Amino acid sequence: MKWLILSSLLAPLSIIASPLVPRQNGTAATAAATATSTSSGSATNGTTSPSNTTGTARVPTVTLYPDTSNGLPIEVSGVNYPQFQQDVYLGIPFAQPPVGDLRFAPPQSYIYNFSVTAQRQPSACLQDPSGSIGASIQSEDCLYLNVFAPQGANATSVYLPVMVWIYGGSFTSGSASQYNASFLEAYAAQTGKPFIFVALNYRLGAFGWGYGSGFAENGAANLGLKDIRKGLEWVQQNIWAFGGNPDQVTVFGQSAGAIAISLLYLDPEVKLFKSAIMESGAQSTLPIGPTASTWNSAYQYLLQQTNCTTIAASNSTSGANATAGNSTTPWQCLKNLPSESLLRGQLAVKSNVLFSGFVYGPSIDGDIIPDSPHTLLSQGRFARIPFISGNNKDEGTFVVPTFVNSTTLGFALVDLVEPNDPSNTTLLQIAALYSDVPALGSPFDTGNNTFGLSSAWKQSVAIVGDATFQANRRFFLRQANQHGFDQTWTYQFEQYTPGQPAYRGVYHASEIPYVFGAARPGVGLAGFSSNYTQADAALSNTMMNYWLNFAYYTNPNGNGDASASNTTYWPTHDINQNNKNMLRLLASNVTVFQDDYREQQMDFFLDRPREFNYRRSLPEDVIMA
């Protein structure tokens, strides 16, 4: 019966964090096209800019000296956006195409033999083509990045801070090409804080975040995270050529991107960035467990759906994998499958109610994630790098389907996303902590208004939002403080998005247009709103100031002066100093309050890390190997 209930809860999980490119006028928009890599090692995204195709158009160029070019200089040519006074380089390869023998392999350094024409958007990594990114603009060959720079910026002119964006999308969707930084760059230049912006792709779904015995045995877990790390290594080695300072890199991201950034903190020696901003994501936001065992049943189902279950099947001349070649093992069969067949298999897994949770995502592999994040943080085994970590007020509204009309149905959703279901006793305790009282539910601070929905829906939204997002952000902050690190800031975004249904509240991902400068009249962001007000624009400016200050000074207040550019001084969060300072980001009230709301409820989750899959370690013999 539980699975009959859960089958109706699938759709919302696939739409977390799926923003589109900012709405711009025709001259500012960039066209999406497939990037290609030639067999000789050169890369091209076309020879002209789709928005600057004139006989006299300025073509910006920079020169790289990568380790893999045999000492030869590599010229990268981009496009110029004169209306923004920006030079943009679209689709620069940062790793070898992860195809053929390199499928399921860690990213390999790209070999540069010729110049790079970076004038068209790169392909997105493979994902569900029915989403916001169609099949024609995605490819297994997808490890590219985009660079936005002030006009004329290069190694001889400037040495600017760098901000690297990691997109969200539940580890199964998203693309660097969805994020146009022109408005953020323009505002930065206007306020005297120009910077270099980078957005990079990483592998998704089964291609980058597989769970199961085959992925564990072949060292193929967390490849998407390794792609991100490889991209950051490329930035360290090459961003100087674009006028960027490799010693002043801030990495920032949302949802899955924020989770990925937080996981990089589990390497205490990481040197790839000097600060980070994590929007709606921390280490254990998604259930995380050992690669081999947590979702091995989903891996076996993938083999079944791709006809790779047995060696005989993998050598079959019929079925979805008829061109898988002379595979000798089920794993080799997966490696040999046409990419579209593997993607179809992945989508078939996700369409099965048993595996409709987060069966593709970060896992404990004993390598890049050596143990349970909860354990590592508790032991102080994390990088001491300044960070901002925040949440939106109503994270759960974008996840819980609106037809949830009972506490029982809401708990079925909890069971769906957890590899190990909480006990009935635990669920009853949660129900007591989160009473089915409309005024206590989410969207928060909406009184008894249920928006025509069940009060149990508001109850479920509050539970899911706290258990996944809020509690884990709070745990990261407090563990950092308890282990003597106090360069930590936190926020809650509380601004409603104009034109969105009221029941969504301040929903997951709704802060993105404000961060990228698109939340203003006449601009907007597709998929969010085109009706932003001057108040929204003012809040967007405030947020961009905080984010840019952090990139420049590792302090959202700028040079540390309380009278600096922002009206409200944003103090650090440090429980050792008896404060839980949190910044409220609301147009009418940007103010500081204490991060102690629903303390008892969130402590309940954090005090039971095993039951809520925050703490699930590798077997001892694996850790010791």
Catalytic residue positions, numbered: 255
Tokens for 239? 């961003």
Instruction: Please answer whether residues 413 and 400 qualify as being in contact, where contact means their C-beta atoms are separated by less than 8 angstroms.
Output: yes
Instruction: Give the Å distances, CA to CA, from 590 to 59, 256, 491.
Output: 42, 27, 10
**Spatial separation of the C-alpha atoms in residues 320 and 518, rounded to whole Å:** 43
**CA–CA dist 299, 172 (Å, integer):** 16
The structure tokens listed for 481 are: 């403080």
Amino acid at 285: T
Listed as own residue / partner, the contacts of 50-57 with beta carbons closer than 8 Å and 24 or more positions apart are 50/119, 50/120, 51/26, 51/27, 51/79, 51/81, 52/79, 52/80, 52/81, 52/82
Half-sphere exposure of 131 (CA within 13 A, CB side): 26
As a whole number of Å, the CA-based R_g of the chain is 24
Concatenating the DSSP letter of every residue in 160-174 gives: EEEEEEE--STTTS-
Report residue 405 as tokens.
Answer: 């009309």
Taking the C-alpha atoms of residue 46 and residue 31, their distance in angstroms, rounded to an integer, is 12
Residues in contact with 392: Cβ distance below 8 Å, sequence separation at least 6, in sequence order: 280, 492, 493, 494, 506, 507, 508, 509, 510, 511
Residue 589: Cβ-neighbour burial (10 angstroms; 0-12, 13-18, 19+): exposed
The amino acid at residue 5 is I
- Tell me how crowded residue 258 is: count the other CB atoms within 10 A of its CB: 29
The alpha carbon of 42 is separated from its chain's Cα centroid by a whole number of angstroms, namely 29
Angstrom distance (rounded) from CA 31 to CA 43: 18
* Alpha-carbon gap, residue 372 to 370, rounded angstroms: 7
Straight-line distance from the first to the last Cα atom of the chain, in angstroms, rounded to the nearest whole number: 42
CB-CB neighbours of 75 under 10 Å: 14
